[in-house]
Amino acid sequence: MVSALALGACETTTTSEERPKPSPEQTENRINSAIEKALQDAENRGNKQESLLLLEQIYKRNSADPVVAARFARALREDEQLNKARLVLKPHTTGKKAHPDTLTEMAMVHLGLGDYQSAEETARESIALNPDQGRAFLALGTALDAQNRHEQAEEAFRQGLSHWKGDPAPILNNLALNLASQGNLKESLNVLEKARSLSPRRMEIERNYRIISTLYETSSGQSRRSFAPPPPAPSHKPDAPESLKNKIVIPAPATEKVENAEVEKVEKETLEEIQNLEEPAAPAQTSPSPKKRRLND
C-alpha cells in the first residue's frame, strides 16, 4: 500500500516537471490575442486614441505583415497623421512586397494629400493585384472625380459597389456626388436615399442630401417657368397714338425679379457647395477637411 502511494506521488511530480513550456511563437500569439481583445473593447467604446495606441503596439510586433501595416496606417490617416501613415505603408507598396491592402490605403493617403494623379495610379496597381476590392475602386473613383473625369469616376464607383463589403455608405455618397456633378440630380437623390436608409446617422450624407435636394428643387422650378405659356400681350389704351403702340415696354413685375434673383443666388451657392465636395476621409482629403463632403471610407 505504501509503495503504491509513493509511486503515485512520484508520477504526479514527474508529470508536473515534464509539462512543456509554451514556445516563443505561442507566447507571441497569446500576447497578440490579448492586445486584439483590448483593441476590440476600445473600438466598441469609441475610444479612437486608445485604439490607435493599441494598433501601434500590434504593428510594432508585426511590422512585416502588410495587413497589419494597412490597418495601422488607416487609423493614422483617420487621425490626420498622413505622413506617418505613408511611412508605415511604403515598405509594402513596391516590388514583390506590394500588397493590395497597403496599395489601397496608400491611394487613400494620396487623396488626403491632394495628389490625385498618384492616388489614381496606386489604386489601379491595387486593382491589378486584386480586382475584388470595393475600397480600391472607391479610391480610384474619387481620384478621377477630383480630376474632372466624371464619367470614368462613375464607372469606377459602380464597379466598386459590386465588390463592396460592409456598410456601402461611403461609396454610395461619392457616387451620388459624382452624379450630381454630371447634372443627374434625381438619380443622385435616389442614391443618397439608399445611403440614408442604410446609414441614417451619417451627418455627411444628410448634409449632401439637403444640398442636392435644394439644387434639384431650384432646377425643377426653373424648368416649370421656362415651359409656362407667355403672358397675354398688354392692351394699348384707345387714345394711344398709333406711332407709340409698338414702342410700349411693360417691365416685368418687381416680385418676379426678386424671385429670380433669389433663385440664382441659391443655385450659385449650392453649385459652389457641390463643386467643393470632395473625400472619404482627411484634410486635403488626407484627413478630410471639415468643408468637404466626400467619404473615402
Mean pLDDT of the chain: 78
Confidence of residue 276 (pLDDT cuts 50, 70, 90): low
- Is 126 inside any structural domain? yes
How many whole angstroms separate alpha carbon 84 and alpha carbon 181? 33
- Is 30 inside any structural domain? no
- Is 246 inside any structural domain? no
pLDDT at 283: 40
CA angle 98, 102, 103 (to 5 degrees): 70
- Residue 284 DSSP SS3: strand
- Is 2 inside any structural domain? no
- Is 243 inside any structural domain? no
The pTM (predicted TM-score) of the whole model is 0.69
Which residue carries 491589378 as its cell?
A: 128
Digit-coded pLDDT (tens) for 163-221: 999 999 999 999 999 999 999 999 999 999 999 999 888 899 999 999 999 999 988 76
Digit-coded pLDDT (tens) for 140-153: 999 999 999 999 99
- Is 265 inside any structural domain? yes
CATH of the domain at 104: 1.25.40.10
Domain that holds residue 55: 36-226+255-276
The three grid cell numbers given for residue 129, joined into one nine-digit string: 493585384
Mean pLDDT, to the nearest integer, of 79-87? 97
pLDDT at 20: 78
- Is 104 inside any structural domain? yes
Q: Are 116 and 147 in contact (CB under 8 A)?
A: yes
Digit-coded pLDDT (tens) for 28-48: 788 878 888 888 888 778 888
Q: How many domains does the chain have?
A: 1
Confidence of residue 281 (pLDDT cuts 50, 70, 90): very low
- Is 285 inside any structural domain? no
How many whole angstroms separate alpha carbon 171 and alpha carbon 165? 11
Task: Write the DSSP string, 134-149.
Answer: HHHHHHHHHHHHHTT-
